[in-house]
Amino acid sequence: MNQKEVVCRQKLMTTRDTMDVIQGKWRIPIIIALTFGDKRFGEIQRDIVDISPKMLSQELKALEMNKIISRTLYDSMPVTVEYSLTPLGLSMKPLVDEILNWGIRFRKETVRK
Amino acid sequence: MNQKEVVCRQKLMTTRDTMDVIQGKWRIPIIIALTFGDKRFGEIQRDIVDISPKMLSQELKALEMNKIISRTLYDSMPVTVEYSLTPLGLSMKPLVDEILNWGIRFRKETVRK
DNA sequence: GTAAGTACTTACCTACAGGTAAGTTAACTT
DNA sequence: AAGTTAACTTACCTGTAGGTAAGTACTTAC
């Protein structure tokens, strides 16, 4: 196994780590919603119009477990819960920006049917 | 619907475009393999050790349809096929680099169990 | 006292992503 | 003529991502 192959396989492993975190239909949308500020369950649901409460709840838990977001319970008198990006979550900004950038480029190249 | 919400929803749509292209277990690995140079079917299979010929064939077709890679048939005398990144595929480098970067960061934060 | 809001949970179902294994075509090698 | 290599294809199966629908617990508003 030569040098190139070693580098190639390391890259493959590293990208798999990232992809495991952002994989799926809802994780990136949730992260983006939270870049606009801390939000409550219902607010995120209103931003991501087609997500069901089940999926939102499930994906919020997964992101919390990966330390991307944090959950804060406020004992106010209708009890509210706020979700916010952790430092690790905030560190995804360049990645999310690139996903966005490339999406714009892709759309440009694809509009000529 | 205020300005923030409009921007948020546009971003959601754009990222979905990108994610549709890179979603799944094998697309990013295939793209990375091809950043090391044009490769034949069997060579990619050797780089990505755990991919089956079925999945490789299927994902190469999908990437070709999205104009990320191109397929060139050489009429040499064992017929060979070479896959290479198109300009659009090459334009994914910053995105792939960010996936890689963040994977490294994530691994650092996660190594303390 | 009943309706509505917030933040979920639970049960059930389906489609598809991905795995395994074997078959195919066609040339080249010994 | 039998085996090897390259590049796939086809058939079949399974697990899980994600959808739908309904239920729960608690509080405030009317």
The answer, yes or no, to whether residue B1 has pLDDT greater than 60, is no
**For A52-94, what is each residue's pLDDT tens digit?**
999 999 999 999 999 999 998 876 666 788 999 999 999 999 9
pTM metric for this prediction: 0.90
DSSP notation for B37-63: --EEHHHHHHHSTT--HHHHHHHHHHH
Q: What are the two backbone dihedrals, phi and then psi, of residue A72, each rounded to the nearest 5 degrees?
A: -120, 125
Which amino acid residue lies closest to nucleotide C17, measuring CA to C1'? B24
Give chain A residues 5-44 with Cβ within 7 A of strand D: 24-26
* CB-CB contact of B94 with A98 (8 Å): yes
User: How far, in Å, is the CA of B27 from the C1' of nucleotide C25?
Assistant: 27
Q: What pLDDT, on a 0 to 100 scale, did the predictor assign at position A73?
A: 82
The residue among B9, B19, B65, B104 with the most chain A CBs within 10 A of its CB, best to mutate, is B19
Q: What pLDDT, on a 0 to 100 scale, did the predictor assign at position A15?
A: 95
Instruction: Write the DSSP symbol of residue B66.
Output: T
Give chain B residues 65-104 with Cβ within 7 A of strand C: 77-79
Q: What pLDDT, on a 0 to 100 scale, did the predictor assign at position B94?
A: 97
In A, minimum Cα distance to B94 occurs at A98
Least CB-CB distance to B15: which of A28, A36, A94? A28
**For B67-87, what is each residue's pLDDT tens digit?**
999 998 876 666 788 999 999
Give the mean pLDDT of chain B.
Answer: 90
Range in A39-53, A65-79, A83-97, B36-50 the model is least confident about: A65-79
Q: What pLDDT, on a 0 to 100 scale, did the predictor assign at position A75?
A: 67
Question: Any atom of strand C under 7 A from CB of B26?
Answer: yes
Q: What pLDDT, on a 0 to 100 scale, did the predictor assign at position B113?
A: 45
Quick one: pLDDT band at residue A31, thresholds 50, 70, 90? very high
Q: What pLDDT, on a 0 to 100 scale, did the predictor assign at position A67?
A: 94
Q: What pLDDT, on a 0 to 100 scale, did the predictor assign at position B8?
A: 83
Percent of chain B with pLDDT over 90: 77
Query: A70: distance to nearest CA of chain B, Å?
Result: 15
Query: B78: distance to nearest CA of chain A, Å?
Result: 25
CA dist A71 and B85 (Å) reads: 42
**For A11-24, what is each residue's pLDDT tens digit?**
999 999 999 999 99
